[in-house]
Amino acid sequence: MSSIRNYLSLIKFSHTIFAMPFALIGFFLGLKKYTPKIKVSDLNSSTGWQDSIISTLSNYHIGTFVLVIGCMIFARSAAMAFNRWLDATYDAKNPRTAIREIPAGVIKPKNALAFTIANCILFIVCTFFINKACFYLSPIALLVVLGYSYTKRFTALCHLVLGVGLSLAPIGAYIAVTGVFSLLPILFSLTVLCWVSGFDIIYALQDEAFDKENKLHSIPSAVGKTKALRISELLHLMSAAFVIYAGIYGNFGLWYWIGVGIFCALLIYQHILLKPNDLSKVNMAFFTTNGIASVVFSVFVLLDLFLN
């Protein structure tokens, strides 16, 4: 059990909460064209709405649903383990990261690399059993999520590459169901891209001095904390714009717009928490606020898809 906990800590499994809800949005968007909405009258029955949802999952792609969840877990696990393996030398130098599993000697580098390879294989296997489109695109997805780990060595735009990696969740899940691209899930992917890039800049504020000293690239180390926060704000403004446009384009109802309001309010709140000269609330802004934003927003989107 301790070994399992070590690997879950290595990959920061709890951070799956950022992209997984958007994968669920993409999956159920794909199902939307195949399934009837739940009637409001069903809500008056103690089992009506539950039966409707269970029927939906039972009759349409329950196997695909499990495989999509597997893809999310395996791709993200591979990406995080690879990042920890590749950055082990830098992590050992940084007081903030020296306690991570590889520099601390809890997990051997070769085992972390083997774990990465195993998760890559499992990811590809899952895509094989979904459909041809997902299988053919799986090497590209792995190239993006693994390639991110190298980008900090040569570009301050590494945050955007991370955003691209996580933005694959909604469009990937949608393709898993439909086998085709569509604008609406792409709009959600753009929402994720800007949202993740923005909060990754916030997280990188902690290592501004270390990155400069070790010739690593990030937006905070390139332009300083104050300007980095402004860039993060701009990205989050763009994220809000994409999620609003997605609502208009998709003709969503009240539940969706409640979710949008909460999501945008939490984007604003995390920037209220932070000041260039006071980073004491970075973890609250980075993990807590964004985790809540992702989960709550997805809940309201799914309510709208089923009930509106």
Looking at the chain, how many residues does it have? 308
**Distance, CA of 32 to CA of 123 (rounded, Å):** 25
pLDDT at res. 38: 43
Q: Is 112 exposed, middle or buried (0-12, 13-18, 19+ CB in 10 A)?
A: buried
pLDDT at res. 52: 54
**Distance, CA of 73 to CA of 78 (rounded, Å):** 9
pLDDT at res. 103: 94
| Domain ranges, ordered by start, for the chain | 2-35+48-307
Closest to 34 in 3D by CA, of 1, 57, 14, 6: 57
Closest to 237 in 3D by CA, of 258, 259, 268: 268
Helices (H), 131-251: 132-151, 158-178, 183-204, 208-213, 219-223, 225-249
pLDDT at res. 57: 53
Q: Identify whether the C-beta of residue 7 lies closer than 8 Å to the C-beta of residue 283.
A: no
Query: Between 1.10.3720.10, 1.10.357.140, 1.10.540.10, 3.30.930.10, what CATH number should domain 2-35+48-307 receive?
Result: 1.10.357.140
Alpha-carbon distances of 21 from 16, 68, 71, 274, 301, rounded to whole Å: 9, 12, 14, 25, 10
pLDDT digits (tens, 9 = 90+) for 63-116: 889 999 999 999 999 999 999 999 999 999 999 999 999 999 999 999 999 999
pLDDT at res. 306: 84
Q: At what angle do helices 109-130 and 62-86 cross, to 10 degrees?
A: 150
List, for the chain, all residue ranges whose pLDDT scores fall below the cut of 50: 34, 36-44, 46
Q: Identify whether the C-beta of residue 151 lies closer than 8 Å to the C-beta of residue 219.
A: no
